[in-house]
Every structure is written in structure tokens, then in C-alpha cells.
């Protein structure tokens, strides 16, 4: 952390010198008081109360052997903070890496003026730059899990726009397992460890999937090499959900977002991933950090697909279904800007771990579609941050917008300033008021006002079409990708209950007969002991072999 030079004017306007009053701005965007006590300098260790510490090696005890006494304030402050220095881990997306950067708008969508479709200001001028923070992650595994595991990757971008924050929260794959948020806890529970023996199994995952046919499109990606990106720099990103763009007239279109890595795309087979994991289980975090550190800044182009806002009966799928891809030949990918990541975090916890994203964080010109997954995520994402980081998580520098904030929200855990406006009557924390409280912003463009008629129901969508795009993806895979897909599914299903594996053979056959046939043949061969298929992650046989091998090859040691 750099020290303010003497007599430099700090951010509060006071001279910052050895014993003067002043503040220095740290890299994380917070203010640091530079006043020192007699005998102190900038590197003097203190308590969090500012008391200089002369002995940080020993607790206060009765004699040098103890016992310790209760009034050890220095120790109690230190250890009690240590006991609390981890916030609750994210239930999903716990393992992550992040970086700062900038998004530069092209000022157009494809070859058309972007104002035709959206009034969002961050897109409207060629060359306009918006600061961003990006967090990449794995989805289902814990905070210190290997980055080589088969799993979707999170791809969350926070845009600090002139109109406030916009969070584009998505994954590396363009589809998801389910189309209704009601099933999200079930999905994640099936991918988490067994609640009895605390191990993940292929049987649990495929038990859920075999009873959820809409997941087959995701299976066609996830159990192929696309399920293990080589690193974070060389993977695609997608908003997955369907959103809307709204123009100055209040007219809306449906939109899907896609990040295309300008470094190219690279994926790994299960065997390749295992070899990397044996050497480095943090490889993707290290890769991102080191490329930025040496100035080789990764870039992605943001592209959108646009569709008129109606039900599109001519399509054989519902455009709001997250398990489907909009065909690119009908809905081309139109470039709107480019993102460059050019600065590593200065503190992982403050910036990456405490960063908080939500699908409901939109700015004017961006809006929600009726996508049922999006509707559920919009509550869940922000709610989990209030639980995990705290009620005032948006006051943290990494999450706070880089613009004026004024609200009537008060208090709560860890409130460290009031979102009040200059000259505001601080007695007034409500609206409306005639006593100099906060006022509503003037409306400059009409709201988008979609019209709804229909019965309130609990029903599945009409056009499920669970198998067509999954089969197309299977046939689009390269031969080696199909081989890896079959091997990984066989490895995960070989020890599963036959009810589960038989259902999966049936579903794969519905997608493509070759897929079902190869899976069935692979399962028969694996169960006959003729082949060892798939990676270790969900392979119970290989997992058991590893348990026995650990004891067999271990070296004896004498007790001491």
C-alpha cells in the first residue's frame, strides 16, 4: 500500500503528514486515515482500535508459563476476528477468481444504431468506456476445490455504469439444466455430496437428470470436454436467461447475451484434467492472474441475439426456455462492444470473495423477460448476498456503484455510512416529504408496459422439445468430443442403480440412437470389467480403487 507523501493534499482536503490530519485512498477505493501517534510511522502495527502494539508475540500471562488472563484485549480482538474472517461460503459458485477491466462500446448493434433497440447509455456511443469487475467460478464445488472438475463455470460481470450498476450474471455454457427456478435447489442438491457419506456420486446426479429430460441438452455439453474449460481466459460466457432491451419509445425486444473470447476456446478431456490436477489444482486462477500481471490482457467481445417480443409459434421451442439455444442462422450474433481485463485484485477477499452479483441489477434500457428461471434467480441472487455478506453489502467498495447514491434505507448489520444526499434533511428518512427529503427522479422516457392476460397456473410450457437440440449437439461434436462424452457418462453410471442407467440410455436414444447405443454398450463393457471408463470425479469404481491404492502404496512410519 503506497504512503501519501508529506504535505500532499488528501481526499478530504487536509494536509496529510506525519502527525497531521489526512486520508489516503487505497486501491480498493476506501479512505485511510494517515494520522500517527508519537513514535509511530506508517508501518507501525496497531490494534483495530489504533493502539500501537509493542509485543505481538506473546499473550499476557501469570509468569511466562501461564495461565493467561481474561483481560488479554489484544489477543481477544485478534483471535475473535480470526474466528470470523470467513463469511459463509456461497452455496454455488464458491470457487472463484476475479479481475478488473473496462468495457468499450461499439455504439452499434451489428450494423444498426443501437438506439433502435435500447436506450441503455453504456452502449450508445462508440468508444465509451465503462469500468467492470468480473468473477469467474465453478458452480457446484467448494471454495478450495480443484479448478479441473467437471462443472459449469460462472461468468459474472459487474458494469459500473453512469446510471448505476448492471450485473450480467451467467455461465460459460449457453443452456442450463432446468427451465423453472422451482427445481434449482433439487438440481444443486443432486450435484452436492450425499448427506450421509458426504461424497458426490454419478448416481445422484443422473437420478435427477434421468427424471428431468429437459436437462439432456446440458448433458450433451457438460459431460463432453465442454464441461472442463482449460482456463477462464479461453472460455465463452453467456447470460443464459432471456432479457429485454427497451428503447426510448418504451418498445421492447427479447435479447440474449454472449461473450466470445478473443483468445480462442480451449477445453480438456477428463484424463487431461486429471493430469493437470495432480500438479496444480489452482491452475485457472493462476493462469488469469499471471496473464494480467504480465500485460497479456484477456478480451471478450459482447454479442447479442435479438428476437421480437412474442411467443414465436413458428419455432419448435419456447424462446424463454433456458434449455434451448436460439439458432444463430435465424438470430445472428451481433457485436455491441469489447471487454478487456487489465487489473488484478489487490485483495482477494475484499474484491473477489465479497463481490456480489444479481440478475435483477439492471439499468434503464434493460428489462426482464418472462423467463421463469430469470424470475426466480432475481430474488435468489440478491437474497443470498444479504445473508452471506450482510444487509449492507452494497456499501462495500467492490459492490458500490461509482456514482451518486441516496436512499432512505438505514441501519442493519455493518452499516458504515448513510446513503444521504448533500443538503438533505437528515431527520427525514422517508418519501414523500415536504421537509427537504429525497425526491423521485424525473421520468425521461416511457416505461415498457407489456400486457398480460391468462389464468394463474402451475404448468409446464407447451413446447418442451427436450431432445432435438441435445441430439443436434451430439452430432455437432467432434469424434473425440463424442468419445469423451460417452466415456464420462459410462464412468459416472457404471455403478449406478440400473433404474437410473436404463433411464439415461433411453433418454440418450431419444436424442440420438447412436448416443444411446454407445452408452448402453459402454455400460455393459464396464460392468463386465473389460474397460475402465471416464474420469475419477463421478466414477465410483475408480474412486474405490484410489482408496485401496492409498493404503497399499503408502509408506509405514514409526510413532513418536
Beta-sheet strands, E only, within 94-231: 96-105, 108-109, 112-113, 129-138, 153-161, 164-171
Question: Please, are residues 89 and 192 in contact by the beta-carbon 8 Å criterion?
Answer: no
Instruction: Specify the DSSP element, H or E, that contains 306.
Output: strand 299-308
Residue 244: φ, ψ to 5°: -125, 150
Q: Count CB-CB contacts under 10 A for residue 164.
A: 16
Phi-psi region of 107 (alpha: psi -120 to 50; beta: other; left: phi over 0): left
Catalytic status, residue 51:
no
Q: Residue 361's closest CA among 343, 340, 345, 377?
A: 377
Largest CA distance in the chain: 85
Question: Please, are residues 349 and 28 in contact by the beta-carbon 8 Å criterion?
Answer: no
Distance CA 447, CA 558 (A): 76
Distance CA 258, CA 243 (A): 12
Question: Please, are residues 333 and 307 in contact by the beta-carbon 8 Å criterion?
Answer: no
Catalytic pick among 165, 171, 344, 536: 171
Residue with cell 433439487: 186
Hey, which residues does 68 pair with through a beta bridge? 61
Q: How far is CA 397 from CA 50, 344, 392, in A?
A: 22, 15, 11
Q: Residue 256's closest CA among 184, 164, 321, 178?
A: 321
Catalytic status, residue 171:
yes
Distance CA 249, CA 255 (A): 17
**381 has binding-site annotation:** yes
Distance CA 359, CA 371 (A): 12
Q: Which residues are catalytic?
A: 93, 171
Known binding residues for heme are 381
Known binding residues are 381
Amino acid at each position: 500500500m503506497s504512503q501519501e507523501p508529506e504535505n500532499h493534499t488528501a481526499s478530504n482536503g487536509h494536509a496529510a503528514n506525519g502527525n497531521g490530519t489526512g486520508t489516503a485512498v487505497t486501491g480498493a477505493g476506501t479512505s485511510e486515515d494517515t494520522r500517527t501517534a508519537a513514535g509511530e510511522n506508517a508501518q507501525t502495527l496497531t490494534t483495530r482500535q489504533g493502539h500501537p502494539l509493542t509485543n505481538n508475540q506473546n499473550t499476557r500471562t501469570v509468569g511466562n508459563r501461564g495461565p493467561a488472563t481474561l483481560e488479554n484485549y489484544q489477543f481477544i480482538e485478534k483471535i475473535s476476528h480470526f474466528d470470523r474472517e470467513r463469511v459463509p461460503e456461497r452455496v454455488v459458485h464458491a470457487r472463484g477468481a476475479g479481475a478488473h477491466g473496462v468495457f468499450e462500446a461499439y455504439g452499434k448493434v451489428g450494423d444498426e444504431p443501437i438506439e433502435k433497440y435500447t436506450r441503455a447509455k453504456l452502449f450508445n456511443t462508440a468508444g465509451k468506456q465503462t469500468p467492470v469487475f468480473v468473477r469467474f467460478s465453478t458452480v457446484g464445488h467448494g471454495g478450495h476445490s480443484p479448478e479441473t472438475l467437471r462443472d459449469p463455470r460462472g461468468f459474472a460481470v459487474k458494469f459500473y455504469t453512469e446510471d448505476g450498476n448492471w450485473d450480467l450474471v451467467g455461465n460459460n455454457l449457453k443452456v442450463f439444466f432446468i427451465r423453472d427456478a422451482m427445481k434449482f435447489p433439487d438440481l444443486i442438491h443432486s450435484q452436492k455430496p450425499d448427506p450421509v457419506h458426504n461424497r458426490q456420486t454419478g448416481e445422484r446426479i443422473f437420478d435427477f437428470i434421468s427424471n428431468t429430460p429437459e436437462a439432456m441438452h446440458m448433458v450433451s455439453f457438460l459431460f463432453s470436454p465442454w464441461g472442463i474449460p482449460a482456463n477462464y481466459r479461453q472460455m465463452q460466457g453467456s447470460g443464459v436467461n432471456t432479457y429485454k432491451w427497451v428503447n426510448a419509445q418504451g418498445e421492447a425486444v427479447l435479447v440474449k447475451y454472449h461473450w466470445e473470447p478473443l483468445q480462442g476456446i480451449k477445453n480438456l478431456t477428463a484424463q487431461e484434467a486429471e493430469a493437470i490436477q495432480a500438479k496444480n489444482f489452482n491452475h485457472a486462477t493462476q493462469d488469469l492472474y499471471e496473464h494480467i500481471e504480465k500485460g497479456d490482457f484477456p478480451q471478450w467481445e459482447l454479442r447479442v441475439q435479438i428476437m421480437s417480443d412474442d411467443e414465436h409459434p413458428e419455432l419448435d421451442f419456447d424462446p424463454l426456455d433456458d434449455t434451448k439455444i436460439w439458432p444463430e442462422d435465424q438470430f445472428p450474433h451481433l457485436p455491441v462492444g469489447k471487454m478487456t481485463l487489465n487489473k488484478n485484485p489487490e485483495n482477494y477477499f475484499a474484491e473477489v470473495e465479497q463481490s456480489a452479483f444479481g440478475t435483477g441489477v439492471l439499468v434503464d434500457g434493460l428489462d426482464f423477460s418472462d423467463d421463469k428461471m430469470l424470475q426466480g434467480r432475481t430474488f435468489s441472487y440478491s437474497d443470498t448476498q444479504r445473508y452471506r455478506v450482510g444487509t449492507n453489502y452494497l456499501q462495500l467498495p467492490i459492490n458500490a456503484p461509482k456514482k451518486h447514491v441516496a436512499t432512505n434505507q438505514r441501519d442493519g448489520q455493518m452499516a458504515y455510512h448513510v446513503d444521504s444526499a448533500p443538503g438533505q434533511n437528515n431527520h427525514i428518512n422517508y418519501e414523500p416529504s415536504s421537509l427537504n427529503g429525497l425526491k423521485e427522479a424525473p421520468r425521461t422516457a416511457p416505461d415498457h408496459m407489456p400486457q398480460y392476460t391468462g389464468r394463474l397456473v402451475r404448468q409446464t410450457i407447451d413446447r418442451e422439445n427436450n431432445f432435438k437440440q441435445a441430439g443436434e449437439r451430439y452430432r455437432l461434436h467432434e469424434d473425440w468430443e463424442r468419445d469423451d462424452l460417452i466415456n464420462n457418462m459410462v464412468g459416472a453410471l457404471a455403478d449406478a442403480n440400473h433404474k437410473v442407467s436404463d433411464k439415461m440410455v433411453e433418454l440418450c436414444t431419444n436424442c440420438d440412437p447412436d448416443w444411446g447405443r454407445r452408452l448402453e454398450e459402454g455400460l455393459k463393457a464396464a460392468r463386465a470389467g473389460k474397460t475402465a471408463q471416464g474420469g475419477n470425479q463421478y466414477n465410483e469404481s475408480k474412486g474405490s480403487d484410489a482408496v485401496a491404492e492409498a493404503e497399499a502404496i503408502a509408506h509405514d512410519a514409526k510413532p513418536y
